[in-house]
Amino acid sequence: MTEKYIFSNGRFMRKDNTILFIDHEGNKKSLPIEQIECLHIFGEVDFNSKFFSLMGQENIFIHMYNYYDYYVGSFVPRKKQLSGYVDVQQAMHYSDYKKRMYLAKMFVEGAIHHILRNLKRKKGLTEATIHYIEKERSGINHVEKVDELTGIEGRIRRAYYQAFNKMISDSYFHFSKRERRPPTDPLNALISFGNSRMYTTVLTEVYQTTLNPTISYLHQPTSKRYSLCLDISEIFKPLIVDTVIFSLINNRMLNEKHFDWMESYCYLNTQGKQIFLAEYQKKLKSTIKHRQLKRKVSYKNLIKLEAYKIIKHVIYDEIYKPLKAWW
């Protein structure tokens, strides 16, 4: 199973039991449905109800992004893995503040571990940042409110991002500060693009379990997002997205020709997106030897395993401990 990316404008239609994409120039491309797990739509694309019916039947996700690469929404197939009991237990762990705080702290702990892991690869240049983050980290056990916890997490990420200039070798990607909407330089554009992909990857994996992706602990649940996916993404952004960014820059795979500008807004052009996504998929497919399972597991499967660990925690089967890369 693979993920397909559509950058052209055009139209999707159902053809028998497969799908056909017709681009704006009339070129037709048949996509073998049995090989597709997700479609990512970056162009302006038309659909019809027969197409969505087939996507739901085949359990294929569709994630859509606007012209500026912002994630705008998803078509999510009807959930096949349901558990009222897990829903109730998730809600109870949210409504019980101590239980919520425990999970929120674990998500932050997992994120900090991977942030420090990245920094320690350039320890000679980032030692001051490491000491600052470790000092901030020591305060986590003493906070009693989620907003205090997110305050610590926010200060740690600001310090981490400020250290990016010491971890990359190309001055074109010089970093001043994190700016999301809109990104104002190439590095911010890469981070925003990668983080949106991380969110959709987590959503796809979580949706294949009995977890309810709308009940979250670190991020406040809302009616407009799958906020549990934001919680879990915190653990994996420095482990996957940031390491992909460092690899692309330090190996000279991206440069100024891969970015476009609109006034003060910077974003990846189609060629830049294709290069990023190829490296991102390569990372997701790469494997490590899992210490508990005693077998090779892909980075993508680590995300689903994290979801199963949360399920075990909320049903009181096993205390949740976040992934902390040991390799």
Residue stretches of the annotated binding site: 153, 219, 234
Please give the Cα distance from 4 to 7 (Å, whole number). Answer: 10
Please give the Cα distance from 286 to 170 (Å, whole number). Answer: 26
DSSP state of 258: G
As given in the structure block, the two tokens for residue 119 are 């920094």
Binding residues for Mn(2+): 153, 219, 234
Q: Is 275 exposed, middle or buried (0-12, 13-18, 19+ CB in 10 A)?
A: middle
Residue that is written with structure tokens 């250290």 in the block: 163
CA distances from 123 to 111, 119, 127, 163, 243 (A): 18, 6, 5, 11, 16
As given in the structure block, the two tokens for residue 72 are 């705008």
Report whether 81 contacts 208 (CB < 8 A): yes
